[in-house]
Amino acid sequence: MNHWIALPILLPFVSAILIEIVGRGRIAVRRGMGLASCLGTIAVGAAMVLLTRHGKVYTYALGDWEAPFGVVLVLDGLSALLVALTGVVSLFCLLYAMNRHDTRGKFFHFFIQMQVAGICGAVLTGDLFSLFVFFEIMLLSSYNLLVYTGDKQSLRAGIHYVILNLTGSVLFLVAIGTLYGVTGTLNMADMALRVSELGAEDIALVRAGALLLTVVFLLKSAILPLYLWLPNVYSSAMAPVAALFAILTKVGVYAILRVSTLIFGPEAGVAADAIEPYLLPLATLTLLLGMTGALGSTHLRKMMGYLIVASLGTMLMAMGLFTETGIASGLYYLPHSTVAIAMLFLLADLIGRQRGPEDDHLVVAHMPKQSGVLGLIFFVGAIAVAGLPPFSGFLGKMWILQASLPAPQVVIIWAVILSTSVMALVAFSRAGSLIFWKGEEPPKGEPPRGDSQMGATAFEFLPVVGLLICIVLYTAFAGPVAEFCTVTAQNLLTPSVYIEAVLGAQR
Amino acid sequence: MEALIASAIAVLGGCGIYLVLRERTFTVILGLALLAIATNLFLLSMGRVAPGHAPVIEEGIELSAYVDPLPQAVVLTAIVIGFAMMAFVVVLSISAHFVTGTDHIDGGEHTQ
């Protein structure tokens, strides 16, 4: 039995509970356990990536109830990649939060661990309804982390975020109900088989179900026209929380990719390619509008929010081609953009704190105290996100451009990706020169405002630099990673591998 | 029976959508509650409407006199999750009301 597949869910889940029982009133214990859990998730995630690198799919029947009757956990390359990525991002967010954020209220470490458990569960489950349940676990933790500080701005953003996602959950349930009503199963592999056997009389129901499901996942992954919530929500959250949220949207991307290739792929009979025609145009428009938003932002954090929207557009454009290289290049771009944006969110917090009351507002204000170091990291981060050499953003975008060559929409894809890269460059130059170039020296004798005169400690720089090193490593190991992405993409495009692994040879 | 359930879902869902689009948090929460109830009814009816039958297969029972147990299990989970979420959103909107001083959904009145 592959009991270890449940580890990325159980480890953070049990840690979360133990943190509150054992670590009550002792912050050092809570921090230690949180870190241990994140390190464990990274270790398991790395092992999973190594195990699945040749395209093998592992399954684990929870409670030994055989699929399709019980809930199964399915581990393939895509799930392994997201588990490892979640571990890495959560570790650095936790490290950053230990400086000051995690003592501002109760239960911070609990919610972080529950969030990790929810994300890992969502990417590992092979059952549509437990996908919904894990989504809810993930979202409930994210609601709490968002309004953790309890200030006006985050509560205001929190209400929008919660109501939007509750409405999304309602749609998710309706979609699940519709698909269950047609196919009589909730297991995704089994549903893929049943959908391909449906007659023409069910075409309306099954396609409606497919598109409802897509709307929900587009909302989670903030794709046009459902991205308007994201910049506001992410810029209202505390820095380490916003950095962790960078991975939440990727779960939406995961769900779109899984459902559109497995259940509604080209072999799905009456529901064949139900999602495919919408993805590429929507992603293209999202990229354009996201980057326009980044150009027009008045605050650094909002700019980062729009850059997330743009990066989601980029990767879904690649995946929306539904070719092997398209999906592979999108998969390569996914961890890069998550880590780079997470780093910039943490950096924006450091910058904002050293500028006094102007915070991250993009106006001429006091020069940050440690403008040298901060400026250097900002410069490197900007290069990585905009997609200039030598970092993985450049490799990812290059690969996406190459992958789009055989597609009929190649002209549009090249034009949009190249022009938005220039826009990103302009946005970063504007922000960087306003903060670091035009910054005024504070007049002598004026009392220091807030904590603007205090420099950041080495421990505060550690997570930022750590994420930066991750990007460098990711660039250095681009070869093996690209191979892994290609194998994973091949697997996604041949759903029979997944289906056979789940249902065995009985079909 | 089917017509009754279908129209109940339609009325609840319609009212829910109308209320969700209002501008005060209280009405929006009421709308979310109605939407959740409509969804639960919808989920329940997905295993086909078969009143008066047990979800148990016994010796000699015909499959037409049997109701699918899975939607019932699913709807139970959905009700529990929906209930928890509703409790959370109520608490959230109350604290938002205290902090921002308004129950407007945008956290402030729009200037006319």
Output the CA torsion sign for A203, A207, A210, A212: negative
Q: What is the pLDDT of residue A65?
A: 85
Chain A positions touching B47 (Cβ under 8 A) are 180-181
- Which of the residues B41, B44, B85, B104 would you substitute to probe the A interface, choosing the one with the greatest number of A C-beta atoms within 10 Å? B85
Query: How far A174 CA sits from the closest chain B CA (Å)?
Result: 6
The answer to whether residue A122 is domain-embedded is yes
Q: What is the mean pLDDT of residues B87-111?
A: 84
Task: Please report residues of B whose CB lies closer than 8 A to that of A174.
Answer: 39, 42
CB B39 to CB A160 under 8 A?
Answer: no
Of B42, B96, B105, the CB nearest to A174: B42
Q: Quick check: is A33 in a domain?
A: yes
For residue A23, what pLDDT is reported? 84
Residue A363 included in any domain: yes
Count of helices and strands (H, E) across chain A: 20, 2
A235 and A282 in one domain?
no
The pLDDT of residue A507 is 44
Question: Within its chain, how far is the Cα of A86 from the centroid?
Answer: 8
Instruction: Find out whether the peptide bond into A225 is cis, omega within 30 degrees of 0.
Output: yes
- Is the Cβ of A69 closer than 8 Å to some Cβ of chain B? no
Asked if A125 and A6 count as a contact pair (C-beta separation under 8 A), the reply is no
Does A292 lie in the same domain as A245?
Answer: no
Residue A504 lies in a domain: no
Give the whole-angstrom CA distance, residue A179 versus residue A129: 11
pTM of this structure: 0.93
Same domain as A323, residue A193? no
Size of interface A-B (CB pairs under 8 A): 88
Last residue of a domain, one of A272, A305, A337: A272
Residue A255 shares a structural domain with residue A300: no
The answer to whether residue A75 is domain-embedded is yes
Label residue A55 left, alpha or beta by phi (over 0 means left) and psi (-120 to 50 means alpha): left
Same domain, A264 and A294: no
Cβ <8 Å between B92 and A166: no
Look at phi and psi of residue A504 and say left if phi exceeds 0, alpha if psi is from -120 to 50, else beta: left
Asked, for residue A503, whether it belongs to a domain, the answer is no
Q: Which of A181-190, A293-302, B24-33, B44-53 has the lowest mean pLDDT?
A: B44-53
A153 and A202 part of one domain? yes
Q: Does residue A506 belong to any structural domain of this protein?
A: no
Q: Which residue in B74, B77, B105 is closest to A159 by CB distance?
A: B105
Alpha-carbon span A261 to A254, nearest angstrom: 11
- Per-residue pLDDT 10s for chain A (507 aa) are 788 999 999 999 999 999 999 988 888 899 999 999 999 999 999 999 999 999 899 999 888 888 788 899 999 999 999 999 999 999 999 999 998 888 887 889 999 999 999 999 999 999 999 999 999 999 999 999 999 888 888 898 999 999 999 999 999 999 999 999 999 899 999 999 999 888 888 888 899 999 999 999 999 998 888 888 898 899 888 999 999 999 999 999 999 999 999 998 888 778 778 888 889 999 999 999 999 999 999 999 999 999 999 999 999 999 999 999 999 999 999 999 999 999 999 999 888 888 877 778 888 877 787 888 888 999 999 999 988 888 899 999 999 999 999 988 899 999 999 999 999 999 999 999 888 888 777 666 555 555 555 677 888 889 999 999 999 999 999 999 999 999 999 999 998 899 988 888 544
Q: Which residue out of A114, A167, A173, A182 would a mutagenesis test of the B interface target, given it has the greatest number of B Cβ atoms within 10 Å?
A: A173
Shortest Cα distance, chain A CAs vs residue B97, angstroms: 9
Q: What is the DSSP letter of B39?
A: H
Q: Same domain, yes or no, for A193 and A328?
A: no
pLDDT on residue A452 = 53
Q: What is the CA radius of gyration of chain A?
A: 22
> Which of A163, A178, A186, A202 to probe by mutation at the B interface, max B CB count within 10 Å?
A163
Of the partner residues A159, A173, A174, the one whose CB lies closest to the CB of residue B93: A159
Which residues does chain A have within 8 Å of residue B89's beta carbon, measured at their own beta carbons?
Answer: 162-163, 166
Q: What does residue A207 show for φ and ψ, rounded to 5 degrees?
A: -70, -35
Of A319, A309, A313, the residue nearest A276 (C-alpha): A319
- Same domain assignment for residues A310 and A247: no
Does the distance separating the beta carbons of A155 and B95 come in below 8 Å?
yes
Please compute the mean of the pLDDT values over residues B84-88 and round it to a whole number.
Answer: 93
Pull the structure tokens for residue B110. Answer: 């729009």
Are B70 and A186 within 8 A, CB to CB? yes
**HEC letters along A105-168:** CCCHHHHHHHHHHHHHHHHHECEHHHHHHHHHHHHHHHHHHHCCCCCHHHHHHHHHHHHHHHHH
Domain boundary among A272, A297, A314: A272
pLDDT of res. A454: 67
* Annotated domain spans of chain B: 2-100
Per-residue pLDDT of B58-79, as tens digits, reads 777 777 777 888 888 899 999 9
A174 touches chain B (CB under 8 A): yes
Closest C-alpha among A100, A80, A82 to residue A90: A82
A36/A125 same-domain check: yes
Contact A140/A117 with Cβ under 8 angstroms?
Answer: no
A119 and A252 part of one domain: yes
> Is A265 inside a domain boundary?
yes
Which residues lie below 8 Å from residue A58, measured CB to CB, with a gap of 6+? A2, A5, A51, A52, A74, A75, A76, A501
A184 lies in the same domain as A300: no
| Chain centre distance of CA A479 | 23
- Which two three-digit tokens encode residue A491? 């697997």
Of A428, A279, A423, the residue nearest A341 (C-alpha) = A428
How far apart, in Å, are the Cα atoms of A335 and each of A260, A339, A341, A380? 20, 6, 10, 17
- Average pLDDT rounded to a whole number, residues B4-31: 94
Beta-sheet pairing, A58-61 with A72-75: antiparallel
CA distance B46 to chain A (A): 5
Q: Which of B20, B40, B107 sits opposite A156 (nearest CB)?
A: B107
For the CA atoms of chain B, what is the radius of gyration?
19
B15 touches A at CB < 8 Å? no
**Count of domains for chain A:** 2
Whether the CB-CB separation of A275 and A302 falls below 8 Å is answered with no
Among A253, A272, A291, residue at a domain's last position: A272
- The torsion defined by the Cα of B95, A303, A382 and A480, in degrees rounded to 10, comes to 70
Question: Where do we find the tokens 């759903």?
Answer: A495
H helix intervals, A237-361: 239-245, 248-262, 276-296, 300-319, 324-353
User: What pLDDT does residue A80 have?
Assistant: 95
* A164 and A20 inside one domain: yes
Selection from A445, A439, A230, A415 nearest residue A352 by Cα: A439
- CA dist., res. A366 & res. A130, Å (int): 50
Full domain range(s) for residue A217: 1-272
Pair A291, A268: CB distance under 8 Å = no
Q: Say whether the ipTM exceeds 0.85.
A: yes
Show which of residues 26-85 on chain B sit within 8 Å of chain A, judged by CB atoms. Answer: 28, 32, 35-36, 39-40, 42-43, 46-48, 68, 70-71, 74, 77-78, 81-82, 84-85
